[in-house]
Amino acid sequence: MHAFDYATPESVADAVVMLSDHGENACVLAGGTDLIVQLRENRRRTDLVVDVKKIAELNALSYNVATGLTIGAAVPCYRIYGDAEIAAAYPGLMDAAKLVGGTGIQGRASLGGNLCNASPAGDTIPPMIVLGGEAEIAGPAGTRNVAVEDFCTAPGRTVLADGEFLVSLRFPAPAPNSGAFYRRFIPRNEMDIAVVGVGASVVLSGDGSSFVSARIAIGAVAPTPLFVSEAGAALAGQPVSDESIQRAADIARDAARPISDMRGTAEYRKHLTSVLTRRVLQGAVQRAKE
């Protein structure tokens, strides 16, 4: 690995100064499960690694039934699914947090890092999108909030400008009669990169017979994880039925713009998008009724 300096700021303001001073020659370290490998393999170069784990806001993890969930950008997956209250309130997020790498990766890897790495196949991104996640970004001009669906701009690229970094992720409290689900397709049981991943959240009517609203996001089928707002919108006001769910699945399939690679052809991925969207919606409906 090439040589670099290492800093551990203890406040957001100090981190902004360090990142601003070094511009594109600095990078942010949280769990390091992507960054350290990228540096070692010369896929990235940096003069300064800014370890943000000593900043209190980056380690925050709090849930309140009224105000929702705040996850500091450096909180590792194991802390998130290890919190029984949060796991019960956000099962759709747990689906993904539990399948990012193996146990040793989950001891370090964070949702914030998964988002900033901006892989089209990042497993936690579709569920964060469908749960209405917002990213709080700090930078030289102060803080700003960006919806998770607008955060990634291209493979490995995000809205973060030089000097900016992700502080936390915020999610609204789950609505009554709501449920969310994430599932990916991989040819193995564990430890693989999604061929396709789909997240869905639904809000049902009080009797569970119709959709009030829905959000669907798809992964590994476009240059970024994709929020398919029209697929969710097509469910609003519709009865919960095989037909309405299939229609949303078809819309998600048509929105997919996959490439063919070693994990699957574009045609295969489009087919999988439809199948997974249907199953994930069914799973979200089931959870909404529980």
Partner 1 sequence: MSKKVHVQTNINGESVDFLCEPRNSLLEVLRDELDLTGAKEGCNNGNCGACNVIMDGRLVNSCCVLGVEADGCELTTIEGVGSAANLHPLQQKFLEHAALQCGICTPGFIVSAKALLDRNPNPSEDEVRYWLAGNLCRCTGYDKIVRAVLDARNGA
Q: Interface residues for partner 1 in 4-33 (CB under 8 A)?
A: 4-6, 29, 31-33
Q: Give the Cα separation of 235 and 245 in Å (integer).
A: 7
User: What is the rounded CA–CA span in Å between residue 168 and residue 109?
Assistant: 14
Work out how close the CB of 40 gets to partner 1 at its nearest, in angstroms, rounded to a whole number: 7
Which CB, 1 or 66, lies closer to partner 1? 1
Q: Which amino acid makes up residue 154? A: A
Position 45 contacts partner 1 (CB under 8 A): no
CB of 250 to partner 1, least distance (A): 33
Shortest CB 199 distance to partner 1, Å: 21
Determine the residue type at 277. T
Cβ closer to partner 1: 186 or 284?
186
From the list 9-17, 101-109, 208-216, 256-264, the region that binds partner 1 by CB under 8 A is 101-109
Question: In this structure, which long-range contacts are made by residues 157-160, counting pairs with CB atoms below 8 Å and at least 24 apart in sequence?
Answer: 157/118, 158/115, 158/116, 158/118, 160/116
Report residue 164: phi and psi, to 5°.
-100, 150
Among 3, 65, 66, 84, binds partner 1 (CB under 8 A): 3
Cβ pair 249, 235 in contact under 8 A: no
**Residue 37 sits in the site that holds partner 1 (CB under 8 A):** yes
Which residues within the stretch 190-209 sit at the binding site for partner 1 (CB under 8 A)? Answer: 190-191
127: Cβ contacts below 8 Å, ≥ 6 apart: 92, 93, 95, 96, 180, 182, 199, 217
Nearest to 235 by CA among 269, 200, 189: 200
189 binds partner 1 (CB under 8 A): yes
Check binding of 179 to partner 1 (CB under 8 A): no
Site for partner 1, rule CB under 8 A:
1-6, 29, 31-33, 36-37, 39-41, 49, 51, 53, 76, 78, 101-105, 107-108, 189-191
